[in-house]
Amino acid sequence: MPQFIHVEDVFSVYPDVFVHPVNCVGVSKDILSRQVKKAWPDYFREYTRNCIRKKIQPAHPEWHEVGELFGTRFVVALPLKTHWQEKMRPDLAKEAFERFFDEFCRKRLSSFALPVFDGPPPGWIEREVSRLAQGRLDSTLECVYLFNTSGV
């Protein structure tokens, strides 16, 4: 069972993977996206280019190696909706999490950071991640850092 840790400042911890919930259009005006763009500008440029080229598809996570010597190794663009004006669809979120977790286990990583985003009911993320981890014999997940985007 993974440990869930709520953190105030996600940029003060160093998970293996930082999960960035995105849309497929490439338009984001939220605080988190501004912080991600500042922390990993190469990732953000690639994400935007891929949106323009229609390579970002709903529920298909895009993995980007950020090349940090210590700390975060990957930033994952997790498309939970097609357009920024839409609400997150639970079926897309579930499918996206399953695909993300498959690759996470394949890469044998141990931690990731994920914002508590609007849409699902409270505790949904913890239940979904626990379900995915329990169903996998090859799960290496030890810790999930959860944070509110208002504290970014």
Residue 18's domain is classified under what CATH number?
A: 3.40.220.10
Q: How far apart are CA 105 and CA 64, in angstroms?
A: 16
Place of tokens 């996600």: 10
Q: Is residue 64 very low, low, confident or very high in pLDDT (cuts 50, 70, 90)?
A: very high
pLDDT at site 56: 93
Taking only the tens place, the pLDDT of each residue in 71-118 is 899 999 999 888 887 888 888 889 999 999 999 999 999 999 999 877
Collapsed DSSP state (helix, strand, coil) of residue 114:
strand
Under 8 Å between Cβ of 50 and 25 = no
- Phi first, then psi, for residue 70 (nearest 5°) are -125, 140
Question: CB under 8 Å to 48, separation ≥6 — which residues?
Answer: 26
Q: Classify the C-alpha dihedral 24-29-32-34 as positive or negative.
A: positive
Q: What are the residues facing 113 on neighbouring strands?
A: 18, 145
- 86 or 146, which is more confident: 146
pTM of the full structure: 0.90
Q: How far apart are CA 119 and CA 40, in angstroms?
A: 26
Owning domain of residue 78: 3-151
Q: In total, how many domains does the chain have? A: 1
Distances (CA, A) of 134 to 25, 33, 80, 130, 145: 34, 31, 23, 6, 18
